[in-house]
Amino acid sequence: GAVVSQHPSRVICKSGTSVKIECRSLDFQATTMFWYRQFPKQSLMLMATSNEGSKATYEQGVEKDKFLINHASLTLSTLTVTSAHPEDSSFYICSANSLLGVTEAFFGQGTRLTVV
């Protein structure tokens, strides 16, 4: 199946700093990618839809100025957590679909963010 690579897999940062997470589709082009957040023992919560060449669409309650999304090419989307706080510590996962429409999502391996 298609491969989505996410980097880094783990990151520890200090409060107030920013962290960038990359999501790449390795063997297909993705005009749309999705960013999720997952707290321990909870499900994936969709944060935003990343659209290549245009602004991301954020879900209700997600601060777009705090979670900056850039989708500059058909194979790369980045999520930057700005001015991170301990409550931002979570597991962040991206996904992409290789085709529009009815198809499965391919997920990255996730990024464990710890803000100290």
Question: Would you mind telling me the total number of residues written for the chain in this entry?
Answer: 116
d(CA 39, CA 1) in angstroms, rounded, equals: 27
Does 112 bind another protein (CB under 8 A)? Our answer is yes
Given 90, 108, 113, 115, the residue binding another protein (CB under 8 A): 108
Distance (Å, rounded) from C-alpha 10 to C-alpha 20?
Answer: 11
Q: Is 44 in the site for another protein (CB under 8 A)?
A: yes
Work out how close the CB of 94 gets to another protein at its nearest, in angstroms, rounded to a whole number.
8
Closest by CA position to 32, among listed 88, 94, 85, 93: 94
CB 96, min distance to another protein, A: 8
Paired tokens of 4: 């989505």
- Min CB(73)–another protein separation in Å: 18
If one asks whether residue 42 binds another protein (CB under 8 A), the answer comes out as yes
* Interaction of residue 62 with another protein, rule CB under 8 A: no
* d(C-alpha 86, C-alpha 51), whole Å: 28
> Please, are residues 21 and 112 in contact by the beta-carbon 8 Å criterion?
no
Residues near another protein, by CB under 8 A? 1, 4, 6, 32, 34, 42-44, 46, 49, 91, 93, 95, 97, 100-110, 112
